[in-house]
Amino acid sequence: MVALERVKEFSELKREPPEFIEPRPPASWPAAGAIKCEELVIRYAPELPNVLHTLNFEIRPGEKVGILGRTGSGKSTLALSFFRFVEATEGRIIIDDIDIAKVGLTDLRSRLTIIPQDPTILSGTLRSTLDVFDEYEDVEIFEALRRVHLIPSSDSAVVAEEDSTVNANIFRNLDSTVSEGGENFSTGEKQLLCMARAILKRSKVLVMDEATASVDYATDELIGKTIRQEFADSTILTIAHRLRTVIDYDRIMLLDQGRIVEFDKPGVLLADSTSKFHALCKATGKEEFATLNKLAGL
């Protein structure tokens, strides 16, 4: 009887949307990284309350946007919605003039990049970690590692077999073993590996979901430097744990209970003593508040 009930449950499970939908988006999509949300509403089940309430906003190509808010404000739900890990209940998300609801999951998720707080790293080799489908030459992979500062910029892209440094650093040997879950990497190294993959993919839209929450300030600054240098032309959405991470971004979006309550340049919000962003910054303490003002150009 229990087995029959289980079969019934599985038969009634909602099917995941198709991997591919014709017509498929152009191979170059998204080429610019323009994002538009129109009347976006999300709830996790028909009987549950809305998590996101009628969001309307536009993000320009190449813009860097920091997304802030208390726990439960809807930040991660918004991030997941770009990949359709959660589906829009109402409204739509448009990337480069294409409604993502009309894009198959494989096409959508392979064209955008998300870097979560704790990235999933599968066991294998460094090469297979960075190049799952064997699409890139070794020289390209080494260049990506160099650009995220996992190997020094002075390293040769191709290391001679007799070079004694081949096994001195895991990142200089693409056949180095990667343990399950990437346990032989620090959290910061896993984040940088994800960024190296994004560089190889030439991602035009990059979503960072509290990616630097578990790393130290030095690694946070290194990741920030990599974003500024290597993703200058990409659209970046960063859910931030530290205000410093996004204080020099183009705009800040502040969410509260699933609604956008502020959306403007950091300097504009910080200069407004009545803004919620100003209050968040001030709560960090006098010294940090002064630093944030300086970083925001005030």
List, for residues 184-193, the tens digit of each pLDDT value. Answer: 888 888 888 9
Q: pLDDT tens, 71-108?
A: 999 999 999 999 999 999 999 999 999 999 999 999 99
Rounded mean pLDDT, 2-29? 70
Distance between CA 260 and CA 245 in Å, rounded? 20
What pLDDT is attached to residue 6?
53
pLDDT at 166 over 50: no
Query: How confident is the model at residue 115, as a pLDDT?
Result: 87
Asked if 3 and 21 count as a contact pair (C-beta separation under 8 A), the reply is no
CB 130 within 8 A of CB 197: yes
pTM of the model: 0.85
Per-residue model confidence (pLDDT) at position 154: 59
pLDDT confidence of residue 165: 40
Per-residue model confidence (pLDDT) at position 242: 87
d(CA 170, CA 116): 23
Taking only the tens place, the pLDDT of each residue in 232-285 is 999 999 998 889 999 999 999 999 999 999 999 999 999 999 999 999 999 999
